[in-house]
Structure 1
Amino acid sequence: MTFVKATAPSDQEASTPPPEGAGLAPVPWRPVSLTAAAMTVCLLVLATRHGYHVDELYTRAASRHLAWGYVDQPPLVALVAKAEMAVFGDDLFGFRVVPALLASLAVLLAPLIARELGGGSRAQTLAGFMAFASGLVMYTGHIMGTNNWDELSWITVTWLLIRMVRTRDTRLWWAIGVVVGVGLTAKYLLVLLMLCLGAGLLVFGPRWVFRTRRFPAAVGVAVVIASPVLIWQVTHGMPQLEMSAALSKALDSLSRSTFVPMQLLLIGFFLNPVWIAGLVALLRRPEWRAYRFVGWSYPLMVVVLLVVGGQGAYTTALQYVLLAAGAVVVDRWARDAKRLGVVGGLTVLNAVSSAILLLPTLPINVYASNPVLSGMAIVQFDQVGWPEMTRQVGAVYRSLPAGEQAHTVIYGNHYGQAGAIDKWGPEYGLPKAYSGHNSYADFGVPGEDKTTVIAIGVDPKRFGALFASCEPRGAYENDLPVSDDGQRFLVCRGPLKPWPRLWEQLRWIGFQCPYTAEAITAESAKGCD
Structure 2
Amino acid sequence: MTTARAARDEASPGRAERGAAPLGRAAREGAPGAESSVTRPAVAWRPVGAAVLALVVVLTVTSARYGYHRDELYFRMLEPAWGYVDQPPLTPLLVQAISGVVDEAWAIRVPATLCAAATVVVVALLARELGGGAGAQTLAAWGYAFAVLPLAFGHLMLTSAIDQLVWPAVLLFAVRALQRDDDRWWVPAGVVAGLATSNKLLVGVLVAGLLLGLAVLGPRRHLRSRGLLVGAAVAAVLALPAIVYQAANGFPQLAMGAALGESNAGDVRLDMWWFLLVMLGPLLVPVWVAGLVALLRRPAWRPSRCVAVAFAVVVAFTFAAGSQPYYPVGVVGALFAAGSVPVWEWATRAGRSRRALVVGGVLANAAVAVVVSLPALPEERLAETPVPAMNGTVGDQVGWPRYVEQVAAVYEGAVEDGAAAPAIIATNYGEAGAIARFGPDLGLPAPYSGHNALSGAAPPEDADVVVVVGEQVELARRVFDSCEVRARLDNDVDVDNEEQGVPVAVCAGRSSSWAEIWPLFAHLD
Q: Normalising by the residue count of structure 2, what TM-score does the alignment of the two structures yield?
A: 0.89
Can you list the C-alpha shifts for 1:81-111, whole angstroms capped at 9, x where unaligned? 1222244x11111111110011000010111
Q: Which residue pairs with 1:419 in the alignment?
A: 433
CA distance in 1, matches of 2:400, 2:418: 25
Q: Note if contact 1:364-1:380 (Cα within 8 Å) is conserved in structure 2.
A: no
Q: Residue in 1 aligned with 2:316?
A: 303
Matched, 1:396 2:413: no
CA offset digits 1:85-140 (Å, max 9, x no partner):
244x1111111111001100001011100011011122112211111121232011
Partner of 1:357: 372
- Does 2:125 correspond to 1:112? yes
Matched, 1:465 2:481: no
Q: CA deviation at 1:170?
A: 1.6
Shift of 1:8: 11
2:150, 2:388 → 1: CA distance? Answer: 22
> Aligned residue for 1:183?
196
Classify the secondary structure of the residue corresponding to 1:454. strand
Tell me how many residue pairs correspond in the alignment: 490
Instruction: Quickly say closer, same or farther: Cα 1:169–1:8, change in 2 above 3 A.
Output: closer
> Counterpart amino acid of 1:77?
T
Q: Is the 8 A contact 1:136 1:317 kept in 2?
A: no
Aligned to 1:244, which of 242, 257, 263?
257
- CA displacement at 1:357 relative to structure 2: 0.8
Q: Map of 1:67-78 to 2, 5 A cutoff?
A: 67-78=81-92
Superposed CA RMSD: 2.1
8 Å Cα contact 1:283/1:296 also seen in 2: no
Change (3 A) 1:405 1:104: farther
The one of 501, 522, 525 equivalent to 2:516 is 501
Unmatched tracts of structure 1, length 5 or more: 1-6, 511-529
Q: In the alignment, is residue 161 of structure 1 matched against residue 174 of structure 2?
A: yes
* Counterpart AA for 1:249: E
Contact 2:44/2:133 (<8 A) preserved: no
Shifted more, 140-149 versus 497-506: the winner is 497-506
Which residue is equivalent to 1:492? 507
Correspondence for 2:99: 85
Please tell me the residue identity of whatever aligns with 2:510: P
Whether contact under 8 Å (1:123, 1:331) holds in the other structure is: yes
Is the 1:385–1:482 contact (alpha carbons within 8 Å) kept by the matching residues of 2? no
The 2-side partners of 1:470 and 1:368 are apart by 32
Counterpart Cα distance in 2 of 1:377 and 1:300: 26
1:339 equivalent to 2:391? Answer no
**Alpha-carbon distance, 1:229 to partner:** 1.9
Checking the alignment, whether the CA contact within 8 Å between 1:397 and 1:405 is kept in structure 2 is no
Q: Is 1:270 equivalent to 2:283 in the alignment?
A: yes
Give the stretch that moved more between structures: 298-307 or 360-369: 298-307
Among candidates 41, 62, 66, match of residue 57 of structure 2: 41
Q: Within 2, Cα distance between the matches of 1:485 and 1:404? A: 34
Q: Is the Cα contact below 8 Å between 2:427 and 2:450 reproduced in 1?
A: yes
**What CA distance in whole angstroms lies between the structure 2 residues aligned with 1:24 and 1:472?**
67
Aligned with 2:425: secondary structure? strand
> Aligned partners of 2:408 and 2:418: how far apart in 1?
14
> Which residue of structure 1 aligns with residue 13 of structure 2?
none
Kept in 2: contact 1:8–1:208 (CA 8 A) = no
Aligned to 2:14: none
8 Å Cα contact 2:149/2:373 also seen in 1:
no
Q: Which amino acid aligns with 2:376?
A: T
The correspondence for 1:170, drawn from 183, 200, 218, is: 183
Which of the residues 216, 233, 239 maps onto 2:246?
233
Please, which of 421, 425, 430 is the counterpart of residue 444 of structure 2? Answer: 430
How far 1:409 sits from its partner (Å)?
1.4
Gaps of 5+ in 2: 1-23
Residue 315 of structure 1 aligns with which residue?
Answer: 328
**SS of structure 1 residue aligned to 2:463:** coil
Q: Equivalents in 1 of 2:372, 2:407: separation in Å?
A: 30
Q: How is 1:189-228 mapped onto 2 (pairs within 5 angstroms)?
A: 189-228=202-241
Equivalents in 2 of 1:404, 1:289: separation in Å?
A: 77
Aligned-pair distance for 1:285? 1.4
3-state SS of the aligned residue for 1:23?
strand
Alignment partner of 1:422: what SS? helix
Q: Residues 485 and 504 of structure 2 are in contact (CA less than 8 Å); yes or no, is this contact kept in structure 1? A: yes
- Within 1, Cα distance between the matches of 2:437 and 2:116? 26
Measure how far apart 1:222 and its partner are: 1.6
**1:476-487, aligned counterparts within 5 Å?**
476-478=489-491, 479-487=494-502
Q: Deviations over 1:308-356 (max 9, x none)?
A: 4343311111111111111101110111211111111100111111111
**1:256 alignment partner AA:** R
Looking at structure 2, the residues matched to 215 and 508 of structure 1 have their Cα atoms a distance apart, in angstroms, of 41
Contact preservation (8 Å) 2:261, 2:321: yes
| Residue 253 (structure 1) aligned with residue 269 (structure 2) | no
> What's the CA shift string for 1:155-211, capped at 9, x where partnerless?
100110000012222222221121011101001111111111111111001112121
SS of the equivalent of 1:299 reads helix
Q: Distance in 1 between matches of 2:325 and 2:391?
A: 17
Q: 1:374 to 1:186 in 2, by over 3 A?
A: closer
1:22-41 matched pairs, under 5 angstroms: 23-41=39-57
- Change in 2 beyond 3 A, CA 1:22/1:344: closer
Can you list the C-alpha shifts for 1:367-393, whole angstroms capped at 9, x where unaligned?
2112x3342133211100111110100
The offset of 1:460, in angstroms, is: 3.7
Mapped to 1, the partners of 2:474 and 2:377 lie a distance apart of: 41
Task: Give the distance between the partners of 2:149 and 2:379, measured in 1 at CA.
Answer: 21
**In structure 2, C-alpha distance between the alignment counterparts of 1:295 and 1:22, rounded to whole Å:** 19
Question: Does residue 409 in structure 1 map to residue 409 in structure 2?
Answer: no
CA distance in 2, matches of 1:84, 1:386: 20
CA contact (8 A) 2:473 2:504 kept: no
Q: Which amino acid aligns with 2:449?
A: S
Moved more, 105-114 or 479-488: 479-488
Structure 2 CA distance for aligned equivalents of residues 502 and 219 of structure 1: 46
Structure 2 counterpart of 1:519 = none
- CA positional deviation for 1:458: 3.1
**Range that drifts further, 328-337 or 399-408:** 399-408
